[in-house]
Structure 1
Amino acid sequence: MGEKVVAGPFELADRQRYRAKLGRCLTGLERLLAEKRFDRPKNLMGLEIELNLVGSDGMPRMLNGEVLERIASRDFQTELAMFNLEVNIAPHRLDGRVFDRLAEEIRTSLAYAHRKAGEVDAGILMIGILPTLDRDDLVSSNLSAVDRYTLLNDQIVAARGEDFVLDIEGVEHLTCTSGSIAPEAACTSVQLHLQVTPDRFADVWNAAQAVAAVQVAVGANSPFLFGRELWRESRPPLFQQATDTRPPELQAQGVRPRTWFGERWVTSAYDLFEENLRYFPPLLPIHDDEEPLDVLDEGGIPSLAELVLHNGTVYRWNRPVYGIADGVPHLRVENRVLPAGPTVTDVIANTAFYYGVVRALAEESRPVWTRLPFEAAAANFDTACRDGIDARLVWPRRGRLGGTTEIDAVTLVRDELLPLAEAGLDAWGVEPADRDLYLGVIDERCRRRANGATWQAATFHQALEQGLSREAALAATTRRYSELMHLGEPVHTWPVGLPEPAPLG
């Protein structure tokens, strides 16, 4: 979840000093952009996957400290709660057999972590929301023992000033409250990074925003929370509500939530960082000794530490990232839309589709964001989260007629976006075998209207019909999901339902 910080009490003046320092950091970013100090194009991508720890019974295991000690690799880190881990995959160039290489690295890493977790009777599960989580699992005492999480929880709770309200109405209706941000830990995702030049940033970010709804529709994998069947991808509403610093009165005034799709297409990365400062009060006013403008005056590259930390507490679904590698600054678009899982093949298929379609959309002569109102893109995102692969989305008409039309997500993908993704991957220099394998997975999901969310829901309902209680059905569904995830065949091939019990004798 970002940089390590040291917890400590804040004084009243700290936020004012921090706000002023943020302003100097923003000026520093503006100068870096104007002086063209950023890295040249490198076609680099990166990948992070958030994971769950579960027992053989399908229930969460609060053991990330013990498991990480056994894994003993810097590629694995803590996440918000003690049943979470995160694996970071080293950056790769987007070319050749990159997706097969990524798949092999992820399989190797997850298999190793799964073996090590087994030493404490746990295992690794990739899923958007673990169906067996209970409200008692998501409490502050189960947050990971990391200063940043404790401090972040304390500051968000203090900013809100009252319990968080979770109210999600989908197939069923969930209403409950929480005294901490711990429910956010239920949301486990895949984060896709793409390093871009400043000149290309706005086009790539706008393209990623436009296609976010489609990513969710084909990749949905989070239909359950606290025993209720909600949206096909319940992470976004849960994440927003679990981190919402706004009491009802501020919501009524139209104050923006910290988990945010956005409200406009942009023309520069600067637009997004500036919005972060303008709209969102600092949560972690921790000061760095560096003075960014002095560093620039001396010919150096500032870390912009306050800007980076503040940016990490504004939870955009496509987030701008400032970083430095080998002494050279760069910008990245961090796509945070996708849930984890179901299998490595599915994760890589989602990844290939995203990088291909974003490349193609960003280079169109009539970009989609000039033809699609931003409000429609935001509404599409909510619709896709609610309805998953059955969503109907608003999209620009092809041809000379102009305007927009409503179209099935699967039709949009198969008829328009998969050909664009294919062209985009060709432009990256991806090998045709890689391209066809992983885009073929997306095509089959759409053809069968099947993804992780549809499989979970169908298997759960079949278990209920077989006489299992809700709790037992969710646990059995989770155990079967785990079996199939580790077998590794893509989710559209999974048989719905629980396996028949072996005959006696």
Structure 2
Amino acid sequence: MGISIDREEFSENDYLAFSGRLYDSLDVLKGYMQRPSFGKAPKLVGAELENYIVDSAGKVLPINQKIIKAADDARYTVELNRFNLEVNFDPFPLSGNVFSELQQNIDDHLSRLQTTANEFDAEIVPIGILPTLQYSDLGKHSMTDLARYRSLSKQLFKMRGEHFQVDISGEEQLQVNSNHVALEGANTSFQFHLMINHENFANAFNAVQLTTPLVLALAANSPIFLGKSLWDETRIALFKQSIDSRRRGEVEWRQPSRVSFGHGWVRKDAHEIFAEAVALYPPMFPILSDISIDSSADNDNLSPLDELCLHMGTIWPWNRPVYCPKDGGHVRIEMRALPAGPSSADMCASAAFAAGLAFGLNDHIEDLLAVTPFRFAEYNFYRAAQKGLDASIVWTQPSKHKPQEQAITTVIESMLPIAEKGLVDIGLNQHEIDRHLGNIRDRLSKKQTGAIWQRKMLSKLNEKHDKQTALFQMFQHYRQWQKTKAPITEWSFERLK
């Protein structure tokens, strides 16, 4: 966010002024998008990785600010809870061996962070939800002590008017409530950014929306929360419920959640999504930027539209557009549904598969959308989060014209050639393509994801130990295997020597 959130109280005039600036920003953005130079910079990919900080026993350590201060790197930032931190990776050109370069960059930064964490007897762990997490770890005291997080919690709770309710049914059921947003901080993700030419944005974004369930089922790594075995990717349910600011029963029409899969296919360009966000969601942080909005700015000095970017940062669709004024301006796609972990190889292979599908479906996407109601894509997303590779989804093959319920594994298998075509089209080396799609094929053929491995490992340990001991031992096995940097398909259920 370009605007610093340094206060927690706002007046009615603050909201009025901020809303006016949002609508002005939409008009300016529309003008920028109509320029021939907009969205024409060379394609890049980027990523962010959220991590847990734990001690040697697998319990959370609330020391993110200490580690970040010691590491002294602007690419490392705090997260909502004190036991999480984020790494922002440098962008890479989308060509050649880009995903291997990203993988190496992830490994390098995690190694550097771990060296710093060693000074505090801590470990840095990428995992969607820490299986050893306890409810007592998620009190208001666990939130990072910064104004933006205090204000976030206060504003969401004020909008809701009552406790946040979490009710998730999976293999087991979990019901908890909270008067703050620390529960959301249990989620850590691997967020992948993909630059798209402006004229291809709608097709690419719709393709990402359509295929996110496939990538999510393969990437699932969050089956346990507060000792309960829930969804394969429990983050999806937990994120939505833990910060749901809607007031129940206040209006008859269905209010949109600030955490959603979206509200429909994009028809023309990204401006629709920005306009929808301004229209549907009230501002949370009505703070004006010192930088003015200039519709006539030259291409090298486009306005950053700080208020619009701040507002978009308070809405959390699983895929969203991100505006950037640099190099003539562009809007990239931020994919937010994937969890952290289990290995850098797995995260980068998932990103490669997602990118391949985004570009590979370009020639088919309009025909697919004509016979695929958006609610089917949303249905598929939540089925994939619940069941992972055991899910059944509603899908239309590009060569056919009728949606049918199919095993998600069958759909993934059929889409691998399309993903490969997409990666070829954007200039990746064949060895690079084979390496990362080979990882996807292995997960599919061996039916092993981070979530499946955690469930199986826990089931084995439950035969010998009480539940709490089994959870901590499962996590120790996870950490041992993660340190090898091996992809999840090479993880066994035996303790490493």
User: 1:131-183 CA deviation, whole Å, 9 max, x = no partner?
Assistant: 11111111222111222212111111111111100000111000010111111
Q: Number of residues paired by the alignment?
A: 494
Find runs of 4+ consecutive structure 1 residues off by over 3 angstroms: 1-4, 250-253, 297-300, 397-400
In the TM superposition, residue 9 of structure 1 has moved relative to its aligned partner by 2.1
User: Does the C-alpha gap of structure 1 residues 72 and 363 become closer, same or farther in structure 2, counting only changes over 3 Å?
Assistant: farther
Q: Which residue of 2 aligns with 1:98?
A: 98
Distance in 1 between residues matched to 2:185 and 2:4, nearest whole Å? 18
> Which range moved further: 304-313 or 189-198?
189-198
The alignment partner of 2:127 has SS state of coil
8 Å contact kept, 1:207–1:368:
no
Unpaired runs of 5+ residues, structure 1, are: none
Matched, 1:406 2:405: yes
Deviations 1:329-372 (A, max 9, x none): 21111011100110111111111111111110134375432332
Q: Is the 8 A contact 1:115 1:123 kept in 2?
A: no
Per the alignment, residue 313 of structure 2 pairs with 312
1:91-490 counterparts in 2 under 5 A? 91-250=91-250, 253-267=253-267, 268-292=269-293, 295-297=294-296, 299=298, 301-326=302-327, 328-364=328-364, 366-400=366-400, 402-414=401-413, 416-466=414-464, 468-490=465-487
2: CA distance between counterparts of 1:215 and 1:478? 24
What is residue 83 of structure 2 aligned with on the other side? Answer: 83
1:452-494 CA-to-partner distances (Å, cap 9, x unmatched) read: 000001111111111x121111111111101101111111121
- Corresponding residue SS for 1:423: helix
| Contact 1:320–1:334 (Cα < 8 Å) also in 2 | yes
Q: CA deviation at 1:107?
A: 0.8
> Is the Cα contact below 8 Å between 2:55 and 2:122 reproduced in 1?
yes
For structure 2, the 5+ residue unaligned runs are none
Say whether 1:499 aligns with 2:479.
Answer: no
Task: Please tell me the residue identity of whatever aligns with 2:168.
Answer: I
Cα contact 2:46–2:92 (8 A) shared by 1 = yes
Provide the C-alpha distance between the structure 2 equivalents of 1:492 and 1:36, rounded to a whole number of angstroms. Answer: 46
TM-score (norm. length: structure 2): 0.96
What secondary structure sits across from 1:338 in the alignment?
coil
Residue 410 of structure 1 contacts residue 447 of structure 1 at CA under 8 Å; is this kept in 2? no
User: C-alpha distance in 1, partners of 2:455/2:297?
Assistant: 59
| Partner Cα distance (1:156, 1:99) in 2 | 37
Instruction: Give the AA of the match of 1:11.
Output: S
Could you give the per-residue CA deviations for residues 284-330 of structure 1, whole angstroms, max 9, x where no partner exists?
111123442xx22455522211111001111011111111225x321
CA drift at 1:277: 0.9
Tell me the distance in 2 between the aligned counterparts of 1:189 and 1:153: 20
Q: 1:297 to 1:339 in 2, by over 3 A?
A: same
Q: Distance in 2 between matches of 1:135 and 1:288?
A: 38
SS, match of residue 337 in structure 1:
coil
Counterpart of 1:45 in structure 2 is 45
Q: Distance in 2 between matches of 1:286 and 1:6?
A: 9
Q: 1:56 to 1:139 in 2, by over 3 A?
A: same
Q: 1:69 to 1:298 in 2, by over 3 A?
A: closer
CA 1:127–1:367 in structure 2 vs 1: closer, same or farther (change >3 Å)?
Answer: farther
Are residues 4 and 462 of structure 1, via their aligned partners in 2, closer, same or farther at CA, if it must alter by over 3 Å? Answer: farther
User: Relative to 1, partners in 2 of residues 1:2 and 1:313: Cα closer, same or farther, differing over 3 Å?
Assistant: farther
2:399 & 2:6 partners in 1: Cα distance?
56
Residue 373 of structure 1 deviates from its aligned partner by 1.4
Q: Are 1:215 and 1:337, in contact at CA under 8 Å, matched by a contact in 2?
A: no
More off after superposition, 207-216 vs 152-161: 152-161
Q: Which segment is superposed worse, 345-354 or 135-144?
A: 135-144
How many angstroms apart in 2 are the aligned matches of 1:251 and 1:237?
23
**Matches of 2:96 and 2:170 in 1, distance apart?**
42
**Residues 69-94 of structure 1 deviation map (CA, whole Å, 9 limit, x = unaligned):** 22111221111111111111111111
Q: Evaluate the alpha carbon distance shift between residue 362 and residue 140 of structure 1 in structure 2; reply closer, same or farther with a 3 A threshold.
A: farther
Q: How much does 1:253 deviate? A: 3.5
1:66 CA displacement: 1.2
Taking only the aligned residue pairs, the percentage that are identical comes to: 33
SS in 2 for 1:206: helix
**Structure 1 pair 224–98 and aligned structure 2 pair: CA distance change class (3 A):** same
Amino acid in structure 2 at the alignment position of 1:155:
Q
CA shift digits 1:195-247 (9 cap, x unpaired): 12321111111011000111111110000111111101000110001111012
Contact 2:206/2:365, CA 8 A, preserved across alignment: no
Q: CA deviation at 1:399?
A: 3.2
| Distance in 1 (alpha carbons) for counterparts of 2:450 and 2:394 | 23
Identify if the C-alpha distance between structure 1 residues 398 and 301 changes in structure 2 by more than 3 Å, giving closer, same or farther.
closer
Cα distance change of structure 1 residues 158 and 444 upon mapping to structure 2, 3 Å threshold:
same
Shift of 1:271: 0.8
CA contact (8 A) 2:390 2:408 kept: yes
State how far apart, in whole Å, the 1-side matches of 2:130 and 2:304 are: 37
CA drift of 1:65 comes to: 1.1
CA distance in 2, matches of 1:101, 1:448: 26
Deviations 1:32-78 (A, max 9, x none): 12334524141211111111111111111111111112211122111
Is the alpha carbon distance of 1:60 and 1:218 closer, same or farther for their aligned partners in structure 2, counting shifts above 3 Å? same
2:89 is paired with a residue whose SS is strand
State the distance in 2 between where 1:447 and 1:495 align.
15
AA matched with 2:308: L
Q: Residues of 2 paired with 1:488 and 1:35: CA distance?
A: 45
Matches of 1:365 and 1:264, distance apart in 2: 14
Aligned-residue Cα RMSD (Å) equals 1.7
Distance 1:417 1:102, change over 3 A: same
Give the C-alpha shift of residue 3 in structure 1: 5.5
Given residue 405 of structure 2, which amino acid in structure 1 is its aligned partner? Answer: E
Q: CA deviation at 1:21?
A: 1.3
Q: Secondary structure at the match of 1:410?
A: helix
Indicate the SS of the match to 1:443.
Answer: helix
The one-letter amino acid of 1:405's match is: Q
